[in-house]
A = this chain, B = another copy of it.
């Protein structure tokens, strides 16, 4: 079957996590990507069922057994709703031609009990321990990575499919803002304190936005910088506030201490025409075109230098890179190719 025929004949189930609503109100990277995949597939004519929380918003069919995300409703227990969400899609597997799993490793442990093929987008290895599950089931589920750098060399991957973001929520302002911006989880991994240090050394204002995931870290390493004048913290932001925030930005600082797996925020910033100054770790090199849509640096002093020459970056080029490489249509077209390959392999098996 060609793509057009596959779209007409195959039923796709998208499995989203239930930590947050799909799409999330503010934070929730995996739910964001699952949403973008589901909506993008619907847009291109696929028959899609989204397994997500009951309050989720989608043009696909919604199949829900969990009312609200467990991060949004403390009366729930993560382990309980997680296994109920996953077993639900497995029990309905026969209704679909392909399950596209965006919910980490636990779904893999059900795959030998169902007939329907499953594609797992590996959104990251949260610990080395979980690799063991991916290794056991490497011939039972198809895998894609979200960047070339976030690959386990001993796993088979059908492709790298970059995350695609919703560009309708991001607009390029008439001119660059004059502040530095940190956007993301406040956590040592994300290097919020390095953004503070860079802004201070560069003599620039810094706006920090995002959920505080590590309270101790925030209090000890970030708060001392905050004075609501040069350096302010505005909490988490939804899509609309995020776009307003980018309007104020001359650059986004992404001085991640851990190798980035993909780095949605870098694509979002560039999507709003904002260059990114990122540590050259993990996927950053794949997302940011060094010298063209931002700068890759290895320490705070280099980040300060990058801030000084940020005007040399063409803001239209930032937007263009995202449209070409990190948009929803680009991502969905790439997944369509992966789906087609899976259907071909499955046909040959039977």
In the bound assembly, the distance between CA atoms of A264 and B169 in angstroms comes to 59
Which residue of chain B is the closest to A129 with respect to CB atoms? B77
Contact A127 B87 (CB under 8 A): no
In the bound assembly, the distance between CA atoms of A112 and B129 in angstroms comes to 28
- A141 CB to nearest chain B CB (Å): 12
In the bound assembly, the distance between CA atoms of A87 and B80 in angstroms comes to 17
Contact B105 A90 (CB under 8 A): no
Which residue of chain B is the closest to A132 with respect to CB atoms? B80
From known contacts A83-B133, A84-B132, A133-B83, infer whether A90 and B77 are also in contact, taking CB-CB under 8 Å: no
Contact B84 A113 (CB under 8 A): no
* Copies of this chain, whole number: 2
Mask of A111-142 contacts with B, CB within 8 angstroms, 1/0: 01110000000000001011011001000000
| Interface size class, chain A | 20 to 34
Which residue of chain B is the closest to A87 with respect to CB atoms? B109
Contact B110 A84 (CB under 8 A): no
Which residue of chain B is the closest to A86 with respect to CB atoms? B109
A91 within 8 A of B: yes
Grouping DSSP codes into helix (H, G, I), strand (E, B) and loop, the A interface class, with mixed when no group exceeds half, is helix
A106 within 8 A of B: yes
- A140 CB to nearest chain B CB (Å): 10
Query: In A70-109, which residues have CB < 8 Å from any B CB?
Result: 75-77, 79-80, 83-84, 86-87, 90-91, 105-106, 109
Measured between beta carbons, the chain B residues less than 8 angstroms from A90 are: 112-113
Q: Which of B75, B76, B87 contacts A112 (CB 8 A)?
A: B87
For this complex, 13 residue pairs linking A to B, each with C-beta atoms less than 8 Å apart, are: A77-B127, A77-B129, A79-B106, A80-B129, A80-B133, A83-B133, A84-B132, A84-B133, A84-B136, A90-B112, A90-B113, A91-B113, A113-B113
